[in-house]
Structure 1
Amino acid sequence: MSYFMYDVMGRTVDEPDPEMVRRVFDGLAQADDEHPDVSLAHESGWCLSAFGGDLVIWENPDADSVAPGEMRDVSREEILRLFGLLAAGDITSVEELPWRR
């Protein structure tokens, strides 16, 4: 399965291993108004974006019929777990979470 991440400056990291996912996520410490998030996108079109302040957005920009969802107060470890699920293509497990739409 193919997936990639965008770091806080918008650079692409192809199929990062778990350690690289952590490093990209930790780059949120340098987030600003222009570069507020990091994200992981799967070849299916699903994407998770993590913002400072423990906000996560779940969306599929290619699927107009599915509204984006958000969760707040998500811990670092939970965000990393979600990134891992999406990287593995486990869309169902991510979709089943209590997203606010």
Structure 2
Amino acid sequence: MSHFMYDVMGGTVDEPDPETRGRVLDGLADADDEHPDVSLTHESGWSVSAFQDGLLIWENPDDDATPPGEMREVTREDTLRIFGLLASGDVAAVEALPWQR
């Protein structure tokens, strides 16, 4: 399954392995108002965006039937776990998480 990440400055990282996903997430230490998040996007169009304060946003801009979901105060470890699920293509497992809509 194909996936990619945007780092905090908007650079693209293709097919990041778990270690690289961790480094991209750690880049949130340099987040600012213009560059507030990092994200992982799966080829299906689903993506998870992570913010410095622990906010995650789950969305598929191409799917008007499903509104975006949010989770707050998500730990680094849980964020990496969710990134891993999406990277492996397990969209159903990510969708099943307790997203607030």
Band the TM-score falls in, shorter-chain normalisation: over 0.9
* 1:41 is aligned to 2:41: yes
Runs of 4+ in 1 over 3 A off after TM superposition: none
Count of residue pairs the alignment pairs up: 101
Percent identical among aligned pairs is: 71
Structure 1, unmatched stretches of 5+, are none
CA distance in 1, matches of 2:21, 2:99: 22
1:17 alignment counterpart: 17
Gap runs ≥5 in structure 2: none
Q: 1:72, CA displacement in angstroms?
A: 0.2
Q: Distance in 2 between matches of 1:98 and 1:90?
A: 15
How does the TM-score come out when normalised to structure 2? 0.99
Give the Å deviation of 1:97: 0.7
Q: Deviations over 1:33-62 (max 9, x none)?
A: 000000000000000000010000000000
TM-score normalised by the chain length of structure 1: 0.99
Mapped to 1, the partners of 2:98 and 2:77 lie a distance apart of 17
CA RMSD of superposed structures (Å):
0.4
